[in-house]
Amino acid sequence: MRIPLSTPAALLITGTVGSGKSTTAQAIGGLLRKDAIPHAVIDLDALRNAWPSPADDPFHERLMLANLGAVARNHVVAGAVRLVVAGVLEDLAQRPLYEQAVGMPLSVCRLPLDLADVQARLHRRHRDDLEALNWHLQRSGELDAVLDAAEVADVEEGVKAEQTPAQVAQAVVRAVGWTS
């Protein structure tokens, strides 16, 4: 299904840590810019980055959703018709909260990637921080299993280690009907 480029729409790129969510979102932003489509790229990790987290909300989900709502509204007021969101959605029951926060129809695309490739990326990313590396290596497998079970995505766009961010972005926009 093709979504007209003038129709407001949001896309959440989800996947395990190290799968390329933020990089893909930025690359999609580049494609939209090239096509002169007013848009915003929003990284959910930045919207939840606060310490400490409440015991009943270790990943600051409530804070992130409140911030997402405010940021999305501000971008729409500024003229954005497309929102590209990078983050983790672990629970199908939470999906309506994300759509409500962005205030427009939301598509979800998961980026599955072989865990060996994820681990190689994490080793590069956290080569100077052993504590962060160990946490992310542990979390990558856990989260991948959670996402397999949760089935939150409308589409999955498998990523290969040799693909460029631009290639992944092109595949994702085709898969969700955002092609020009």
pLDDT score, position 81 = 96
Cα 16 to Cα 123: distance, rounded to the nearest angstrom: 15
Render 102-124 in DSSP notation, one character per residue. HTS-EEEEE--B-HHHHHHHHHH
Of 64, 47, 138, the C-alpha closest to 98 is 64
Q: Which domains does the chain have, with CATH numbers?
A: 9-175 (3.40.50.300)
Cα 67 to Cα 113: distance, rounded to the nearest angstrom: 29
Those residues of the chain that have pLDDT short of 50 are none
Report the interhelical angle of 61-77 vs 95-102 (nearest 10°): 30
Phi, psi dihedral angles at 170 (to 5 degrees): -60, -45
pLDDT score, position 123 = 85
- Outline where DSSP puts E strands in the chain: 9-14, 39-43, 82-86, 106-110, 155-156
pLDDT score, position 75 = 98
pLDDT score, position 56 = 96
- For the stretch 76-81, contacts whose Cβ atoms lie closer than 8 Å and that sit 24 or more positions apart, written own/partner, are 76/8, 76/103, 76/104, 78/40, 79/38, 80/38, 80/39, 80/40, 81/5, 81/6, 81/7, 81/8, 81/9, 81/37, 81/38, 81/39
Cα 158 to Cα 89: distance, rounded to the nearest angstrom: 17
pLDDT tens digits along 74-123: 999 999 999 999 999 999 999 999 999 999 999 999 999 888 887 888 78
pLDDT score, position 1 = 60
